[in-house]
Amino acid sequence: MTNSKAETAAGAAAPGKKPFQLSKGLRYLFKGCVGVAFLLVLFSFVQKNEVVEVLGRIDWLYFSLSFLLVPVMLSTSCYKWRILLKVKDPTVSFRDLMRIYLVGYFFSNLLPSNVGGDVVRSFYSGQIIKDQVYSAVAVFLERFTGVLFLIMLVIGAPLFIPELYSSPYFYFPSLAAFILLIVILWVMTVKEPLKLPDAIAHAIFGGCRSVAEKTGLKILVWPVDFLQGVYENISGKVAKFHVELMRAMTIIVKEPVLLAKVAGVTAFFYMLTWLNVYVSFLAFGVDPGFFVVCALTPTIMFIGHLPVSILGNFGFFESVFVFYFSMMGIATVDSLAMGLLLRVKMLTLGGVGFIVYLLYKHRRAKELTELEEFARKKGDVS
């Protein structure tokens, strides 16, 4: 599927109509309010004396170890990224990639901007290897392999505690992950994945609009336009994903050993993720059981990364941790403390990324403009 075909498929659902979406300012405001609301609800279940008690039993050894895991996880991600970039430029510096990754954390977790961390990494690494197209493919592959591995963990990780599958809070996410995996495999193998869905969508929306016009029920036109806009938005993202995936597949076919290396590093990263959550609990004197952490964390990450809030899904991400670990008998205040520790570590990375960003380049205003333009061309900014 060529780029032009993908673009045609993305806009074929409703020629002349823009996908329905709130303005940029309203999206930020709404998501910010959602994040604050989640945090307020969480703290409403916690008593002041419970907070004091939790802070009083911090185990500083595990607390320190929890922070020491952060650079290890960051280095693992950078190493996987470097494996992919070395296909194009064998001399790419690990130090430069580390700095760029930190800047990406700053944009993702501290800066309420249209420019996300992946766009930042793609932009700056593209300048290093002098190939923006391949840098975008490498960032996509680094992210996609992580997401694909997470999807498989959501399906299989509850096997650590098989009775979890009896709960809808686990079998529904597992089912959703399985369906998503099928969709990904379908997009990978079908040359024009949007051809049939577009034909069906045209028929449904056209039929509904025709019925509304013939019956005089014009009140039905707005819901049809709304749903058509939503579909068009989703189909555009699927078309873009298909193009990026096809580019990535050409790299994998040429470098078969590459996939095995990336898969191994990805598996190691998720082992570190389990360890990160477990040690963060131990930092507050709470031992939920390592296998419990292994069973719950993939589902929590799967749900917790839905784009509900801003700045790294603050509020919502912590709420998902509290909800799932409360099912295993962990007190709300303990899960909340652990979740906030994870948040502090992400903010710390973002803070370090801000310092790196100030030292990394000059001409800040021009760079931000170039980043915005780069993101807009990629379709990542509305």
When comparing pLDDT for 279 and 230, which is higher? 279
**Residue 178: which residues within 8 A CB-CB, separation 6 or more?**
155
Average pLDDT in the chain: 82
Model pLDDT, residue 244: 81
- Return the closest-CA partner of residue 267 out of 98, 143, 146, 94: 146
The domain spans of the chain are 19-176+257-378
Mapped onto helix, strand or coil, the DSSP state of residue 1 is: coil
Quote the CA–CA distance of 111 and 372 in Å, as a whole number. 13
More confidently predicted of 331 and 12 = 331
Structure-model confidence comparison of residues 270 and 115, the more confident one: 270
Output the pLDDT for position 272.
Answer: 97
| 65-99 pLDDT per residue, tens | 999 999 999 999 999 999 988 888 888 889 999 99
Burial pattern 63-98, b for ≥16 Cβ within 10 A else e, equals bebbeebbeebbebbbbbbbbbbebbbeebeeebbb
Greater confidence (357 vs 314) lies with 357
Q: How large is the average pLDDT for residues 47-68?
A: 88
pLDDT > 50? residue 382: no
Model pLDDT, residue 3 = 43
Instruction: Work out the number of other CB atoms within 10 angstroms of the CB of residue 13.
Output: 23
Query: How confident is the model at residue 65, as a pLDDT?
Result: 96
Give pLDDT, residue 88.
Answer: 82
The alpha carbon of 239 is separated from its chain's Cα centroid by a whole number of angstroms, namely 18
Joined tokens for residue 246: 């096809």
- Tokens 């495999």 appear where? 185
Residues 265-316 pLDDT 10s: 999 999 999 999 999 999 999 999 999 999 999 999 999 888 777 766 778 8
Q: Report d(CA 277, CA 53) in Å as an integer.
A: 20
**Is the pLDDT score of 381 beyond 70?**
no
What Rg value do the Cα atoms of the chain yield, rounded? 22
Calculate the CA 312 to chain-centre distance: 9
Confidence of residue 23 (pLDDT cuts 50, 70, 90): low
